[in-house]
Amino acid sequence: MKLGMFMMPLHNPARNLTDVLSEDREAVILADSLGMAEAWCGEHISSTAEPIASSLMFFASMIEQTKSINFASGVLNLPQQHPSQVAAQVANFDHMSRGRYIMGIGPGGLVSDFELLGLTDEKQRRAMMLEAIDVIHKIWDTEPGQGYDIEGEHWPIKIKNGVLPHLGIGEICKPYQDPFPTVCLSIVSPHSSSATMAAERGWQIVSANFIQARYIQSHWQAYQKGCDNVGRPSDSAVWRIARSILVTDEPGEAEDYIADPNGGLSFYFSYFMDLYRSRGILKMLKPDLDVSDDDLKLDDVIRSMVTFGDANGVLDQLVDLCEQWGDFGTLLMVGHDWDNAPLWRRSMTLLAEDVIPRLNQHLASRPAADKSVAE
């Protein structure tokens, strides 16, 4: 199993933007130095709590400061941008990073961005996302010098009169990776039809971290259904799972941070409780479905959704989760706000250098019959 990180990133909007952007960069650079395989980062336009407006711009600032980590947009909100711009910008980034790029895409996820751009219809956003990625791939597949004539309901792409092949005018750059970067979809809803669709299209998936662990296995079941629909064997190596993980030298350190009502994790999960309550989907955060929305406590949500403790305790919890979910390819630790930077740096180090090597030893030692729960 590989280890990576997934940052929304989410910060208390009262914090200084310069500071949090600097800390987020430091977290990715540290992840690279620890040998992590991937770093994911989200992007939104109209949020000071999730302040990164362009994951490509953010990651571009670290290409020369990192050696091997793959950068993943988590995600490019395709309905919010013209696909020709996305195609050109992704191609640039893919060359700048020498192919260290994973193209995470989605229909968007922030209600204020929807209102800002007039994209409040969910079905329309999904249709626009699918059209956009198809158009982007057609752009990259077009032979040089031919111009473009790509039909589309939302974005017809045409360059005919302005093509000057000997000058390179009228041609959109192609990516470094051949034929193009891996496409990956972030999955939240249980038994997600989006996971099935991703499998049918040959894409990969990330199971998001802001739902209870009991729902995660349904993502793989939905993905397997899509593979079956098109006669493609499923490969659990393409499945990523993101979870909040805090590893400390002593169990009490993690306990104190978890219990702090003013700590970063308290803000993170109270943010989602408020957001999910407004959308009528609070059940996805409930450790006990019999608890009413009004009686749901923040502390119960945090303790049920964060894997925390010393290295031995975290290892035991991850073993249990892996047995529940079955085989998957990459564990993505969530990059949280560094309101306590030394704590989170130490947590990343312990996870990468102590916990994950022992977890992989455990997984490798299992009998073959125990390694296919997800298959």
CA 52 centroid distance within chain? 14
Mean pLDDT, rounded, for 47-72: 98
pLDDT tens by residue, 163-198: 999 999 999 999 999 999 999 999 999 999 999 999
Q: Is the pLDDT of residue 342 over 80?
A: yes
Q: How confident is the model at residue 366 (pLDDT cuts 50, 70, 90)?
A: confident
Residue 86 Cα distances to 63, 171, 321, angstroms: 19, 14, 37
Nearest to 179 by CA among 147, 145, 162, 202: 202
The pLDDT score that the predictor gives to residue 371 is 54
Q: How confident is the model at residue 367 (pLDDT cuts 50, 70, 90)?
A: confident
Mean pLDDT, rounded, for 129-151: 97
Mean pLDDT, rounded, for 74-103: 98
Which residues in 143-154 are b (16+ Cβ under 10 Å) and which e? Answer: eeeebbebeeee
Q: Is the pLDDT of residue 155 over 80?
A: yes
Q: How confident is the model at residue 375 (pLDDT cuts 50, 70, 90)?
A: very low
Specify whether the CB–CB gap between 207 and 241 falls below 8 A. yes
Tokens of 128: 């626009």
pLDDT tens by residue, 206-238: 999 999 999 999 999 999 999 999 999 999 999
CATH class of 2-250+306-370: alpha beta
Specify whether the CB–CB gap between 333 and 350 falls below 8 A. no
Q: Is the pLDDT of residue 81 over 70?
A: yes
Mean pLDDT score of the chain: 97
Specify whether the CB–CB gap between 9 and 52 falls below 8 A. yes
**Separation of alpha carbons 66 and 71, rounded Å:** 10
Nearest to 100 by CA among 54, 62, 43: 62
Q: Is the pLDDT of residue 372 over 80?
A: no
- The percent of residues in the chain predicted with pLDDT above 70, rounded, is 98
Q: How confident is the model at residue 373 (pLDDT cuts 50, 70, 90)?
A: very low
The pLDDT score that the predictor gives to residue 370 is 58
Specify whether the CB–CB gap between 4 and 39 falls below 8 A. yes
- The percent of residues in the chain predicted with pLDDT above 90, rounded, is 97
Q: Is the pLDDT of residue 134 over 80?
A: yes
pLDDT tens by residue, 261-300: 999 999 999 999 999 999 999 999 999 999 999 999 999 9
